Amino acid sequence: MASRFQGLAILPLLGFAAASCISSGDQNTINNLFKSGGAGTVVQICAGTTISVTGTITFTADNQEISTSGYPTDETRAIIQPASGSDVSMLLSGYGYNGLRVKNIQFDGLRPSLGLVKDGGATIELGQNSNGIEISNIVSKNARAWSCLHLLQGGTDTPCTNVTISNNQIGPCGNEGLNSAGVSQWADGISFACRDSLIENNYVTGSTDGGIVLFGAPGTTVQGNTIVSSTTDAGFGAINMVDYLYDGSYANVLVTNNTITGEKLFNVGIAIGAYAWSFNDDASLQGPATITNNVFSGNIPFAIGVNGWTGGLTVTGNDVSNVNSPTSGYSDANSCVAPTRDLWKQSAHLAYYPTGLTGTNNLQSGFVAADGNSTNFICTAPSLPSSISYGLNELNVGVNTVLANLHNSIVTQYQGDGNIVTYNTSTGSYVPVWASGHTSSVCSSDPSACSCDFQGDGNFVTYASGKPQFVTGTQGKGQKLTFLNQSPWIEITDSAGNVVWDTTDAN
């Protein structure tokens, strides 16, 4: 009796401790509470509080929780963000613990003001050998590295399993393209590699790599999510089933009732298979998997693209009636292989390569069959310009450079042999429509010896070992060099806008 009474007497104290919340400090404040409290420790941050960190907040035992006091779902949720001047990208981590909970709290990587972190970790990294992680009602946005939220796989006998990710607001995550230092800026919304889990009712906006990326994730259901690309930065895919993990198994994955909207562009809505993405896996990915009752709209050339799948695929009841057509109205396919480009030309929003889909399958009506190996459904780009212009000294490049990648499949390159060539690539092969004709074996053997320069004097010149090759002779007149997607392909104008040279002139 006595010991039971003591136990009860302590309860009010525990209750008081749980109700108190943190209103200042940094990652050390929180990490010390997790370390000293051990399993089951709940760390609550007071509503309206912003905690700036210079290092990662780390779970240290089973059943720990981080949340905002009172579990608000609005902007009063506490904010965890990097301190200015800090290069931390991973704000929260926890590997190998059961029952972790991340609830009603915001993580802001502050990428727009603090910049991206090359090779940094995802904003939130949880998983490995664990059961029952729950992430709900959180915000994770502006990741400084490759993902706003990453759930990491465990081993075969020590799986990461039974994760619930629900009612979260994810994004924006990343930017399109490379930065000026050549570093990739893309980021995923949710990168998911656990199994037998549930990802539901999340709002993922402005992902630039994958919105929800399944790394196999056998037994996982993805349902009721809304995935919207950014209006300013294209996203590659909304839901990815393209990565090889679990020996390629996506057994019993169910993707249903998701709403996918391409604003600027989603290259692909749901990408399915080993050859559907820009890389190729070693072997086909395997089902059985079911993709059903998803709704697509907006700018998505390939709402569903399948290549490299076996072992069962059911794709039924998906609605692509509000996907914009024709695809050429908002995208270009200059970088696509011929079979994928053919699908794009047909505005084939449901697309597959029959040879790349073996085993039992049930594809809804409306799927267009590729007549060849239609790899890489993310090969399209947002609409390209019809022309590109350079002022004096604005173009000075080495060999193997694309000078202009233009709408309607017109590409002009300064090639490895020193030749400037304009191609019409609309059929998927590179058909030359104009060439400077000046080639030099020097450029092939020593690329650094050659350059292509719209000079300060207005002359457009290629050089090999310091000797002019192709010369437009426009020194003293030329002010602007323009590449066009129609004949004459290249022209130089003077300060009054008069053409002083084009490709029909001798040189």
Ligand X SMILES: *[C@@H]1O[C@H](CO)[C@@H](O)[C@H](O)[C@H]1NC(C)=O
Which chain residues interact with ligand X by CB under 6 A?
99, 131-132, 134, 162, 164, 201, 224, 226, 257, 275, 280, 355-356, 373, 375, 408, 410, 424, 426-427, 486
- Least distance from C-beta 353 to ligand X, angstroms? 7
**What ranges make up the beta strands (E) of 96-252?**
101-103, 106-108, 124-127, 130-131, 134-136, 139-141, 147-152, 160-161, 164-166, 169-170, 174-178, 184-186, 188-192, 198-200, 203-205, 210-214, 221-223, 226-228, 235-241
- Least distance from C-beta 22 to ligand X, angstroms? 24
Q: Other CB atoms closer than 10 Å to residue 375's CB: what's the count?
A: 24
Residue 15 makes CB contacts below 8 A (sequence gap 6+) with: none
CB closer to ligand X, 239 vs 500? 239
Intra-chain end-to-end CA distance of the chain, in Å: 104
CB closer to ligand X, 56 vs 257? 257
- Least distance from C-beta 493 to ligand X, angstroms? 20
CB closer to ligand X, 186 vs 353? 353
Listed residue (94, 102, 93, 109) closest to 148, CA to CA: 109
CB closer to ligand X, 34 vs 275? 275
Measure the CA–CA gap between 454 and 7, rounded to whole angstroms: 83
The secondary structure of the chain in percent helix, strand, coil, rounded to multiples of 5, reads: 10, 40, 50
CB closer to ligand X, 29 vs 408? 408
- Least distance from C-beta 125 to ligand X, angstroms? 18
- Least distance from C-beta 408 to ligand X, angstroms? 6
CB closer to ligand X, 430 vs 441? 430
Long-range contacts from 183-189, C-beta under 8 angstroms, 24+ separation: 183/116, 183/118, 185/116, 186/146, 186/236, 187/143, 187/145, 187/146, 187/147, 187/148, 188/122, 188/146, 188/147, 188/148, 188/150, 188/213, 189/147, 189/148, 189/149, 189/213, 189/227
**Coil, helix or strand at residue 111:** helix
- Least distance from C-beta 172 to ligand X, angstroms? 20
CB closer to ligand X, 176 vs 243? 243
Residue 83 gets which letter from DSSP? P
Sequence letter at residue 111: R
CB closer to ligand X, 67 vs 162? 162
- Least distance from C-beta 433 to ligand X, angstroms? 7
Measure the CA–CA gap between 261 and 499, rounded to whole angstroms: 44
Residue sitting closest to ligand X (CB): 132
Identify whether the C-beta of residue 251 lies closer than 8 Å to the C-beta of residue 286.
Answer: yes
- Least distance from C-beta 364 to ligand X, angstroms? 17
CB closer to ligand X, 86 vs 280? 280
The residue with tokens 């437009």 is: 472
CB closer to ligand X, 53 vs 222? 222
- Least distance from C-beta 46 to ligand X, angstroms? 25
- Least distance from C-beta 292 to ligand X, angstroms? 10
Listed residue (149, 117, 120) closest to 133, CA to CA: 149
